Structure 1
């Protein structure tokens, strides 16, 4: 008989939540991870008594009260509200696009004036396309111009998007930006979800709670010794790259990746906000994260005399780097379908999570996917 009901490959949010639900159902699990730590990309490092999001900023948000109540049953979440700011050539704009943004852009003070300005610029863009014989936007640039007009596009979308994807907007497919949220209220809350926040004490507390009393091993690579690991468990839960599992037999899936440049500063408050996007193409990084603002508010900010910032650089993925964002273009979509067909023929393995399913996942949908399995 196998020693474990489930061998879970990857101790990120999907694997940890799966282990938690399996244990609730009386199953015995082993969670392994080839990194030196558990938690996957939500892992935090303590620097100067500040929880630094090692693999990029993560803000939990959901409209599902069941999911919100679940994570808060593991660790209490704070009241952090994501309100990013855009910096374009030294001028600051609130995000998402709202009345504050429109006032900063054009000086308009009412929804009627803002809507009129946007419609005017959208009309100019659509008229230009019609004169060129373009019935449907052919690329991201044309799509964005038809949605929000030239001022908003060139100031807040173009440079950031080209840095993020490493390609000109005219070379990116239109579907990437089919809709752009536009609000005619003075509301800087980025998410529409009613529930959002950060675990008090950082995401490691969430992972520790999910994996409480469950056997785990780090520095352990499933693929190096897969025959052994398959022999000790009834079912494998695999959260790594699906193409790597199949030894890239059809070729490698493509991703964008992110590199991080951390700096400890001798001040209590560097930029006054957790997230500032740099939308100018000539600035090499996409955004600067100041981590203390995720968990410290008001006078608590000054009680910590130092701060930690992270500059994020978007780059093309290559072997040895962490894969972050799937390139869901036609080539990669067709390639993933081939791997998915192989996976669907497996009887004793579950593929789950962003790498195994080759899709971008927010945190709440990951938990929901695990819940759906254990219905």
Structure 2
């Protein structure tokens, strides 16, 4: 590795970016293609794509190594940007939950209520039903407060309490309201998990999209590469760090708490295993939280099918920042260190200790690029506006 770095590092790089997921890869592409910068992109994992990495398994089925990644957004600019590197396959995500011995739609909707309770409600009836069960909470602070305020304790117990306790290792009453606020409740029969205007999957998978994104002569990619091992071996002007911010500072204030996941991948000798891509298991006596079947996501035709069982864990790779006030305060201490560290920018989920969707990470990287671009070419926007104004007149 040292010889390889010496060969390319004599003139150095404009940017060293740590982490080849969405944040690092999008910024690398923009800096290289938009500003002609020389970028070294490194990742300690043996692949690009971060948690969105997908690959064909031994049976030839396209799977997501780190659990299902469903692309959805309401931002046309993010779709336009990513469409430079992929075509799309239409896909609307639907999830079922195993509750009371049957599989019903989650988020809770009209169909969920009618099936669970043997009713024949219409939309107005569903609104009245939920209103009659809701238990108003004056000061909504926790994830428990959010759900009980909307739909009452019984549905909270059936769908949310056990799942949340497994996923986070904490009771919903101990978690910030943002966790369950992400899941809506509907009184119509809309059974889509997301309501975004753009819901599609990369036609040939995420990894192919990342490969095209990073296919630029100004970008050098090194996987199986730990930043700590090369930081003194290569010359660069600016560092963009998409890894855990507490790790960068040697955990000097203690570790930021994360939840991790253990993935159990299986292939079964049948065409279909379950009716939708993801089935949730809220009951606490079931050790996993959900089962994913990837062929629903990819549309692949195959006589076998591949599944992933997800087991939440306190140990392992950091996936989900745990949203509690004391954790936010600890992050602020690290953020103050980051603000006082010249020549380094922190980016992405791990670098900013935020739970972002994929489109939000792309948006964060594009926003950072725009700030860099404007700092280097402050007149560019003015020069662009002038001919447009002349054309309009």
Per-residue deviation at 1:347? 2.3
Which aligned pairs between 1:26-65 and structure 2 lie closer than 5 A?
A: 26-47=36-57, 48-65=59-76
Superposition RMSD on alpha carbons, in Å?
Answer: 1.8
Q: For residues 204-240 of structure 1, what are the alpha-carbon distances to aligned partners after superposition, in whole Å with 9 as ceiling and x for unaligned? A: 01110110022111111111332233xx111111110
User: How many residue pairs get matched?
Assistant: 356
1:21 lines up with 2:19 in the alignment: no
Alignment match, 1:87: 98
> CA contact under 8 A between 1:88 and 1:278: conserved in structure 2?
yes
Alignment match, 2:246: 243
- Separation in 2 of the partners of 1:96 and 1:57? 17
Structure 1 alignment gaps of length 5 or more: 130-134
1:342 lines up with 2:337 in the alignment: yes
Alignment match, 1:68: 79
- Separation in 2 of the partners of 1:29 and 1:177? 39
SS of equivalent to 2:90: coil
- Separation in 2 of the partners of 1:176 and 1:11? 27
Q: What is the aligned counterpart of 1:114 among 126, 130, 135?
A: 126
Relative to structure 1, the CA distance from residue 198 to residue 149 in structure 2 (aligned partners, 3 Å threshold; closer, same or farther) is same
Relative to structure 1, the CA distance from residue 252 to residue 233 in structure 2 (aligned partners, 3 Å threshold; closer, same or farther) is same
- Separation in 2 of the partners of 1:334 and 1:20? 33
1:8 lines up with 2:11 in the alignment: no
- Separation in 1 of the partners of 2:47 and 2:62? 15
Q: TM-score, normalised by structure 2?
A: 0.86
- Separation in 1 of the partners of 2:230 and 2:182? 45
Q: TM-score, normalised by structure 1?
A: 0.90
Relative to structure 1, the CA distance from residue 171 to residue 57 in structure 2 (aligned partners, 3 Å threshold; closer, same or farther) is same
- Separation in 2 of the partners of 1:59 and 1:22? 26
Alignment match, 1:307: 305
Alignment match, 1:215: 220
SS of equivalent to 2:209: helix
Relative to structure 1, the CA distance from residue 293 to residue 225 in structure 2 (aligned partners, 3 Å threshold; closer, same or farther) is same
Alignment match, 2:326: 331
> CA contact under 8 A between 1:89 and 1:280: conserved in structure 2?
no
Which aligned pairs between 1:136-215 and structure 2 lie closer than 5 A?
A: 136=139, 139-174=142-177, 176-178=179-181, 180-213=183-216, 214-215=219-220
SS of equivalent to 1:228: coil
Per-residue deviation at 1:349? 1.3
Relative to structure 1, the CA distance from residue 59 to residue 175 in structure 2 (aligned partners, 3 Å threshold; closer, same or farther) is closer
Relative to structure 1, the CA distance from residue 70 to residue 97 in structure 2 (aligned partners, 3 Å threshold; closer, same or farther) is same
Q: What is the aligned counterpart of 1:362 among 350, 357, 364?
A: 357
Structure 2 alignment gaps of length 5 or more: 1-9, 371-393
Per-residue deviation at 1:169? 3.2
Per-residue deviation at 1:178? 4.7
SS of equivalent to 1:289: strand
- Separation in 1 of the partners of 2:90 and 2:264? 27
SS of equivalent to 1:74: coil
> CA contact under 8 A between 2:175 and 2:323: conserved in structure 1?
no
Relative to structure 1, the CA distance from residue 11 to residue 140 in structure 2 (aligned partners, 3 Å threshold; closer, same or farther) is closer
Alignment match, 1:132: none
